């Protein structure tokens, strides 16, 4: 324990934040008084550090290297600056920084931009609190070498994070290996030096012009200008206490959509997230206020963004659902938006080829030299592949995360089941809940103009491509070692059957499968074509299991899904 105490005292000496200094000082006092709980807390904070990976940094706010704080952020900024300079070939790198409305996001952003400028980089700070997609857009729009977004997206209220993008050949996408390890090595070198107070800082950074935000608004409004059916549309919007509404409202105005009824209690940024236990539209209860507002305003549709507006949730009136409203699954939204993108890509190809639709090509909206493609993470619905094949488009299944999806060759649309959608790859190479909302509003309004609803669109999809049904089982743990134990158990003793159906094949992605980079993922294929995927969450202490089936009808697919779920729950119980 003396080692942790010494490390904590050294940390105090370099911590510029009075709040975390007081927090750590009080904790040390309790440790010195023999408080065993305090000793465990200190050990948790100082026995390891938040790992910098392809998701950047993310964790709970607090003092110590295993928390998000100003010391850790300063180390990360200095390490990232060193990485950018190392790969710059003598040119001065440009890095742009954004932040959301979480606690300390503004402080972390300013620390970062001052350290970047102090290291000799061209550093640019976004003009104010803005959504993550605006930062992703800014990296490409400014021709920057890199971008940093201070956000923990939809994580619990006490978390914050540090998301990193690369420009140039990476085209504004999030980092992937080996960049993560190379950046982490530079960060560790800074941390080992032991005193962030000596890092050079400068206020000689630039503030991005408002024209950057205007350019994002124009590009996003162009995704789906309002059709005639938009007139009179009654809908509800919630920002989930996040930063989406200001930008969303400007996009709606430019695209011509009617102003929604707002969930007023959730519309302004508030890092305390006072009306939700967990600021994630997927979580039970998170959209209750939106449904209450929708019932009161006789709405036809509910749209929600998560706190940094890179995810989209959609809900519809449903007499069979509790409270009369049902949130669409991420797969349902993704398949509808993918269908929209596939039709547009096929039409563009036909126009470019003079009516010849025999083969996909780059003219359909993909990257130059690559066939137009649809892409989704391997845990998302296999229905997207059916859509791609129907329209003669290429298809790519990737590892989870938009750092992989956005890199699919020729991508015209990509999604993951966790409410993430990339609908405008020409401008944003990341999930974007605002452009996805505009695309969904366009679909809804077009159908409305034809006297149809989103439920009708879902039925037409099933009639055309088959009834795909998905479900998810998520186990949250307090000790992440439990997740490793369950994965090890499943590998050591794999099941012969799930839900009464034999397992036909098991793919262990640790060894690399189908050309995918290695990942801690198990994929089980059953004899009837059903699929189960087991993986640890990349951002939360959860083990996730994804279930996918296909049936001749929605009723048959649901029945099969229930049997697979029961079998999967038995499987997980045995692995714990």
By annotation, the residues acting in catalysis are 153
Confirm if 56 and 71 have CB atoms less than 8 A apart: no
- Separation of alpha carbons 541 and 349, rounded Å: 44
Confirm if 190 and 407 have CB atoms less than 8 A apart: no
- Separation of alpha carbons 498 and 565, rounded Å: 9
- Separation of alpha carbons 435 and 167, rounded Å: 21
Residue 224's closest CA among 453, 450, 447, 437?
Answer: 437
User: DSSP class of residue 267?
Assistant: S
Residue 338's closest CA among 434, 413, 432?
Answer: 413
Residue 146's closest CA among 128, 126, 173, 114?
Answer: 173
**Beta-bridge mates of residue 473:** 545
Confirm if 156 and 59 have CB atoms less than 8 A apart: no
**Which residues, 6 or more positions from 402, have their beta carbon under 8 angstroms from its beta carbon?**
173, 174, 414, 416, 420, 422, 429, 430, 431
Report strand pairing: 411-416 vs 420-422. antiparallel
Task: Give the other-Cβ count within 10 Å of 489's Cβ.
Answer: 15
Confirm if 150 and 43 have CB atoms less than 8 A apart: no
**Which residues, 6 or more positions from 19, have their beta carbon under 8 angstroms from its beta carbon?**
none
- Separation of alpha carbons 464 and 138, rounded Å: 39
Strand order in the sheet with 261-262: 261-262, 235-238, 301-305, 312-317, 325-327
Confirm if 150 and 95 have CB atoms less than 8 A apart: no
E-strand stretches of 284-407: 301-305, 312-317, 325-327, 373-377, 394-398
| Residue 242 in tokens | 């996040």
**Which residues, 6 or more positions from 144, have their beta carbon under 8 angstroms from its beta carbon?**
94, 95, 96, 124, 138, 167
Confirm if 408 and 338 have CB atoms less than 8 A apart: no
**Beta-bridge mates of residue 422:** 414
Task: Give the other-Cβ count within 10 Å of 269's Cβ.
Answer: 18
Task: Give the other-Cβ count within 10 Å of 451's Cβ.
Answer: 8
Place of tokens 């089936």: 549
């Amino acid at each position: 324990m003396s080692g942790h105490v010494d490390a904590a005292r050294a940390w105090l000496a370099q911590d510029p934040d009075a709040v975390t200094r007081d927090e750590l000082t009080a904790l040390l006092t309790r440790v010195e008084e023999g408080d065993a709980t305090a000793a465990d807390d200190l050990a948790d904070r100082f026995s390891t550090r938040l790992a910098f990976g392809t998701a950047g940094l993310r964790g709970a706010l607090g003092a110590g290297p295993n928390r998000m704080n100003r010391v850790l952020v300063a180390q990360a900024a200095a390490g990232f600056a060193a990485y950018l300079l190392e790969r710059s070939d003598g040119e001065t790198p440009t890095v742009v920084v954004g932040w959301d409305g979480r606690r300390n996001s503004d402080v972390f952003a300013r620390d970062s931009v001052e350290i970047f400028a102090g290291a000799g980089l061209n550093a640019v700070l976004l003009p104010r609190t803005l959504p993550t997609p605006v930062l992703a857009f800014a990296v490409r729009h400014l021709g920057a070498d890199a971008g940093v977004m201070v956000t923990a997206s939809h994580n619990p209220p006490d978390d914050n994070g540090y998301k990193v993008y690369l420009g140039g050949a990476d085209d504004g996408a999030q980092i992937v290996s080996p960049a993560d390890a190379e950046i982490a090595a530079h960060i560790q070198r800074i941390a080992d030096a032991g005193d962030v107070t000596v890092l050079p800082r400068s206020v000689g950074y630039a503030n991005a012009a408002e024209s950057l935000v205007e350019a994002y608004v124009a590009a996003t409004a162009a995704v789906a200008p309002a059709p005639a059916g938009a007139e009179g549309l009654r809908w509800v919007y919630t920002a989930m206490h996040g930063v989406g509404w200001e930008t969303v409202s400007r996009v709606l105005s430019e695209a011509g959509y009617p102003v929604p009824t707002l969930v007023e209690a959730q519309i302004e940024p508030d890092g305390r997230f006072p009306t939700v236990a967990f600021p994630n539209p997927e979580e039970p209860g998170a959209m209750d206020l939106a449904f209450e507002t929708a019932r009161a305003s006789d709405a036809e549709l509910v749209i929600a963004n998560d706190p940094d507006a890179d995810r989209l949730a959609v809900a519809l009136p449903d007499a069979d659902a509790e409270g009369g409203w049902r949130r669409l699954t991420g797969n349902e939204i993704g398949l509808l938006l993918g269908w929209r993108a596939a039709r547009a890509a096929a039409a563009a190809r036909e126009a470019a080829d003079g009516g010849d639709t025999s083969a996909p090509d780059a003219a359909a909206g993909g990257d130059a030299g690559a066939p137009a493609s649809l892409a989704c993470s391997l845990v998302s619905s296999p229905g997207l592949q059916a859509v791609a094949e129907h329209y003669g488009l290429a298809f790519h299944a990737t590892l989870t995360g938009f750092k992989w999806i956005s890199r699919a060759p020729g991508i015209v649309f990509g999604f993951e089941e966790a409410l993430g959608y990339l609908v405008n790859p020409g401008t944003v190479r990341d999930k974007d809940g605002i452009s996805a909302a505009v695309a969904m509003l366009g679909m809804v309004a077009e159908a409305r103009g034809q006297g149809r609803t989103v439920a009708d669109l879902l039925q037409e999809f099933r009639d055309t491509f088959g009834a795909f049904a998905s479900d998810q089982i998520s186990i949250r743990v307090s000790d992440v070692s439990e997740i490793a134990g369950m994965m090890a158990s499943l590998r050591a003793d794999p099941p012969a059957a799930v839900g009464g159906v034999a397992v036909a094949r098991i793919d262990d992605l640790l060894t690399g499968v189908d050309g995918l980079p290695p990942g801690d993922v198990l994929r089980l294929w059953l004899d009837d074509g059903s699929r189960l995927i087991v993986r640890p969450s990349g951002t939360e202490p959860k083990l996730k299991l994804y279930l996918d089936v296909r049936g001749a009808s929605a009723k048959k697919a649901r029945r099969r899904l229930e049997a697979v779920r029961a079998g999967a729950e038995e499987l997980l119980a045995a692995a714990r």
